[in-house]
């Protein structure tokens, strides 16, 4: 009798795990009402202990900021970072995290345009040199669209237009930075 209860209970648990895996979304949804720069202590600890080793850190002592860039961002044939990137900017003094769009590891000095196709709908995203708040909203939109993108994404920056994030590995890297950032500020 006890053996059948144990087997039944075990099968029920396995069934629930399979059901949870089958119905779980590949990409968590963005909580748009939680888009602010404040980090919760638990999210910051999660990031520092489990995710930080994926990033290169650049410290800005005077501003008391730290810029984190993905170690495995794609590079051109000359070994230099290529195309648009997303960096996480942490301000531990104020428990804040920001996101910053960059072009070849430099701060944007002109507007960056991204175009792609999401399902049957074309998406366009313009990221200017505005403040960090605008970049946060654009990053959340890009995260949302990258889950649905079919085909190529084209970027335009300073009279240069080209396809970016062509391989799944490159897109995965961008999605990873965006997901880490949105988790860090509690938006997913």
Q: Is the dihedral of CA 94, 96, 100, 105 positive or negative?
A: positive
The pLDDT value given to residue 179: 92
For residue 178, pLDDT over 90 is answered with yes
| pTM for the predicted model, two decimal places | 0.80
The pLDDT value given to residue 76: 61
Residue 105 has phi, psi (to 5 degrees) of 65, 20
DSSP summary character for residue 79: S
Q: What is the pLDDT of residues 4-30, one digit of tens each?
A: 888 888 888 888 777 766 665 566 777
Q: What distance in Å separates the CA atoms of residue 155 and residue 73, rounded to the nearest whole number?
A: 16
Secondary structure string (H, E, C) spanning 7-66: HHHHHHHHHHHHHHHHHCCCCCCCCHHHCCCECCHHHHHHHHHHHHHHEEEEEECCCCEE
pLDDT bin (cut points 50, 70, 90) of residue 54 is: very high
Q: What is the pLDDT of residues 111-162, one digit of tens each?
A: 899 998 766 778 888 888 777 778 888 888 888 888 777 778 899 998 888 8
């Amino acid at each position: 009798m006890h053996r059948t209860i144990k087997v039944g209970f075990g099968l029920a648990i396995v069934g629930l795990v399979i059901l949870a895996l089958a119905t779980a979304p590949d990409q968590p949804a963005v909580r748009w009402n939680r888009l602010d720069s404040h980090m919760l202590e638990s999210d910051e600890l999660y990031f520092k202990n489990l995710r930080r080793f994926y990033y290169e850190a650049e410290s800005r002592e005077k501003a008391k900021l730290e810029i984190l860039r993905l170690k495995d961002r794609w590079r051109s044939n000359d070994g230099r970072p290529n195309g648009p990137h997303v960096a996480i900017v942490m301000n531990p003094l104020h428990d804040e995290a920001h996101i910053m769009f960059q072009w070849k590891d430099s701060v944007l000095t002109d507007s960056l345009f991204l175009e792609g196709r999401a399902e049957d709908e074309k998406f366009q995203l313009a990221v200017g040199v505005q403040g960090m708040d605008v970049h946060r909203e654009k990053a959340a939109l890009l995260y949302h669209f990258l889950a649905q993108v079919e085909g190529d994404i084209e970027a335009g920056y300073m009279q240069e237009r080209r396809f970016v994030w062509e391989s799944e590995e490159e897109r995965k890297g961008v999605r990873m930075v965006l997901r880490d950032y949105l988790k860090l500020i509690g938006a997913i």
